[in-house]
Amino acid sequence: MPFLSTGPVANHAVGAIDRVQQLVVRMVNRDLINMSTVLVEGFYLNGDRTMYVYELVSLLPNQTFMKVNYADFDAYEYQFTIGGDGANQTEISAWGKTGTGRLVDAQRLIAVES
């Protein structure tokens, strides 16, 4: 089973870069035949590691899914455990957004860049 993690993400306003208030998670199962599942675990980090998101998402073949999660913490971390026959064809990206909806480039985590 593939396992992905954002690692600990510091979430402080720096100069013109605003603090992230939402984390947009996008998933895609590119397998044309098989399903996949993604266990999403979100933690806020404040001296302790406290889980606040625990969700199992089932993706049909060739399906995409998007979820917006609260992320207005000083630090957070997300972990993704991918299962099912389509696991190796499933990709995940996460994008930090400010309260005004602007994407924060410093907090974008994507599968691949060309």
pLDDT one-digit tens code per residue, 50-77: 999 999 999 999 999 999 999 999 999 9
pLDDT exceeds 60 at position 16: yes
Neighbours of 19 (CB within 10 A): 17
Residue tagged 């998007």 (tokens)? 66
pLDDT at residue 44 is higher than 50: yes
What is the pTM assigned to this prediction? 0.88
- Residue 91 scores a pLDDT above 60: yes
pLDDT at position 47 over 60: yes
**Opening angle at CA 79, ends 66 and 91, nearest 5:** 50
In the chain, where do the E strands start and end?
A: 3-5, 9-10, 22-29, 36-45, 49-59, 64-70, 75-83, 90-97, 103-109
